[in-house]
Chain A
Amino acid sequence: MTELSAHLPQFQHGQLSENFPDNHLSNTQESLASALFNADQNDNSERRRHDNSERRRNDNAESETNGQPQNNTQQVVEQDEEEDEELTLKYGAKHVIMLFVPVTLCMVVVVATIKSVSFYTRKDGQLIYTPFTEETETVGQRALNSILNAAIMISVIIVMTILLVVLYKYRCYKVIHGWLIISSLLLLFFFSFIYLGEVFKTYNVAMDYITVALMIWNFGVVGMICIHWKGPLRLQQAYLIMISALMALVFIKYLPEWTAWLILAVISVYDLVAVLCPKGPLRMLVETAQERNETLFPALIYSSTMVWLVNMAEEDPEAQRKASKNSTYDKQGSANQTGTEDAEADDGGFSREWQQQRDNRIGPIESTPESRAAVQALPSNSQTSEDPEERGVKLGLGDFIFYSVLVGKASATASGDWNTTLACFVAILIGLCLTLLLLAIFKKALPALPISITFGLVFYFATDNLVQPFMDQLAFHQFYI
């Protein structure tokens, strides 16, 4: 599922700080304070986001093993509604761009692959969840088959969603976690191995298995670490984009034409229903997560910023207590006053020569446990991370995948070729923009797929059937409009 969320700083997995969440709202001056969105809600939304991504990850894992498409319930969560509208808009413009760039990159990778590697446009059978073939004699039969295929696919997705909700409700976290790991293992090793092999075949590059094994092993292991544990932000983002592109390529290859378009349409509708209906599985999942006050795995959400608190040198509680007692604390003075054996033994890591140099230049200042504790007791600079500029936006990987499927299918099968691809690309970006705008207006969870996919589909069919013949004729005569 996809969640578009604007939220206060996201924590790097495993580096959570206790004091942070309580004051992330207190410092911002908002003129439109909404009672709904207090600190708890923010945390809940964060959890919602994680829940949803995890659910999608579940289905993703399932889809890896069974060749099914992912769960596509998307949810858009806006967390900063009480913000000044200007701040929201300004913040929105910057974060719209933060989403434009990865979505564009994913689409570029998919389109480049489709255009160059013929493997992904070759028909090599279908997934077992779309058993009906589209190579039929009559148009009516083909339509019927594709409707049946789409129905089967969607019902599988619904079943998996409900399964996930049940798993989550009964706290089977290990199962979910294992599912996630297996699915990303499959993507990072197996699918990328196939991709690499096809690229080599396309460019006729001679390669031995040992080198390939080394490359895939490194790629996969670094990917697992970046996605599931810690890693540089850009690297994690790059890996998420790559696995989304790989997944989208699989769909483009194995879904026949009419089925693919139908599935895209039905999934948007399902997304709308699942997020906005009171009894929708997504909504239930979100509410369960809210009740439990839990966070989820960040492995399946693309996040544009990762702000974590870099704690300074570990706090020494003894020293801190001593420091707080000295109300008129003077670093220089205390160095002299508290000249104990401790202070002499603990030189804070500064070497003798450095200390002598420092003493010559600025006078005797010792780095004592007390001085260090006092510095640490100063208001943390992490408050700057509440600056609106620092906030990140998140988008679920399911969105990336389905956007890329749409654009990739357009580039693979359209007769208008590049015109159609570009029209779909612009349509999806505008849909994303509009979704964010609606978010700012309605200030509640919204699905991110429907608008973009609707625009994309309309533009695909319109450009392919109406615009392409027109532009073709104009180009033939070299007319310009």
Chain B
Amino acid sequence: MGAAVFFGCAGIAFGPALALVLLTVAAEPLRVIVLVAGAFFWLVSLLLASLIWFVSVHLSDREDARLQYGLLIFGAAVSVLLQEAFRFAYFKLLKKADEGLATISEDGRSPISLRQMAYVSGLSFGIISGVFSVINILADSIGPGTVGIHGDSPYYFITSAFLTMALVLLHTFWGVIFFDACEKRRYWCLGLVVGSHLLTSGLTFLNPRYEASLVPIFIITLCTGLWAFVTAGGSFHNILKCLSCKQEDDSRVMMYSALQVPLED
């Protein structure tokens, strides 16, 4: 217990996210700004969902446990829908920003592509969502205590960490797919993303039956990852090329003696 659990669970939950941020986002200022703004949008969506849940709880009978449980599930569903709505809003904002950046740049191209922004925005949603889900649990894990002493599952910390990692990756993939679907106006893709988010959130309602929740969620993560990879333009061929570390053949060969100033017409 204590520090070991804290560092272990923190590493499991945020290892991939941290690596992705350090390797791909931290060096570029624009991407960092997109990251922070994405976190802001997610927070606003959470705020609204909490407001709705709070109002509904206060309007209802506090003593009825089943009703409260139902309201919680309702709140979670509303939150998922609002998150996706704010993802769409963020897409609109980034599209405008992309156009703005392109028009005012020197060569007419924006310094950051919409695909990159899709990836970073998905990552930002994932990170802030994961952090909000698990940070208090991690803080508690440093201190003394026995997990599940009242009969709950003793694997609470580690499963939370794994769920968080899955969620972070899922949000990243959803971001890529979502933005691409919005760009190409494939609304069935959008529906699938929202549906898989709802499904993932719904599967967590099966906790603490972890074999029923964790395993399907990881399968969903894998499938969504493959889908996002294909959407982003990846293919088996690309992987092979990347792994074989071949130099790109430059098919353009310039004969320096042949260089001349183009003739004036």
Contacts and interface: CB of A to CB of B under 8 A. Distances in A.
Contacts of A465: 54
Contacts of A478: 156, 159-160, 163, 204, 207-208
Contacts of A94: 29
Contact of B36 (A86, A426, A467): A426
Contacts of B215: none
A466 B159 contact: no
Contacts of A470: 49-50, 53-54, 75
A479 B135 contact: no
Interface in A67-96: 84-86, 89-90, 93-94, 96
A16 interface: no
B79 A481 contact: yes
B47 A463 contact: yes
Contacts of A426: 36, 39-40, 43, 128
B40 A89 contact: no
Output the residue of B50, B75, B139, B164 with the most chain A CB within 10 A.
B50
A422 interface: yes
Interface in B170-184: none
How many interface residues does chain A have, given as a range?
Answer: 35 or more
B189 interface: no
Contacts, number: 115
Interface string B177-201: 0000000000000000000000011
A459 B43 contact: yes
A418 interface: yes
A61 interface: no
A479 B36 contact: no
Contact of B133 (A84, A90, A471): A471
A283 to B, nearest CB: 30
Q: Interface majority SS on A: helix, strand, loop or mixed?
A: helix
Nearest to B153: A478
Interface in B22-66: 29-30, 32-33, 36-37, 39-40, 43, 46-47, 49-51, 53-54
A420 to B, nearest CB: 10
Contacts of A352: none
B49 A93 contact: no
A430 B40 contact: yes
A213 interface: no
A328 interface: no
B54 A433 contact: no
A417 B138 CA distance: 12
Contact of B163 (A84, A466, A480): A480
A97 B32 contact: yes
A480 B201 contact: yes
A76 B131 CA distance: 33
Interface string B118-158: 00000000001101110111010000000000000000100
Contacts of B21: none
Contact of A433 (B36, B72, B106): B36
Interface string A401-435: 00000000000000001110011001101100100
Given A426-B43, A462-B50, A471-B132, 5 more contacts: A84-B104, A86-B101, A427-B43, A459-B47, A467-B50
26 contacts: A84-B106, A85-B104, A86-B104, A89-B104, A93-B33, A96-B29, A97-B29, A418-B139, A419-B136, A422-B131, A427-B43, A430-B40, A433-B33, A433-B37, A459-B47, A462-B50, A466-B50, A466-B51, A470-B54, A471-B133, A475-B136, A475-B137, A478-B208, A479-B201, A479-B207, A480-B201
**Which are the 10 A-B pairs with shortest beta-carbon distances?**
A86-B104, A478-B207, A93-B29, A85-B104, A466-B50, A470-B50, A97-B29, A480-B204, A481-B79, A467-B50
Interface of B: 29-30, 32-33, 36-37, 39-40, 43, 46-47, 49-51, 53-54, 72-73, 75-76, 79-80, 83, 100-101, 104-106, 111, 128-129, 131-133, 135-137, 139, 156, 159-160, 163-164, 167, 200-201, 204-205, 207-208
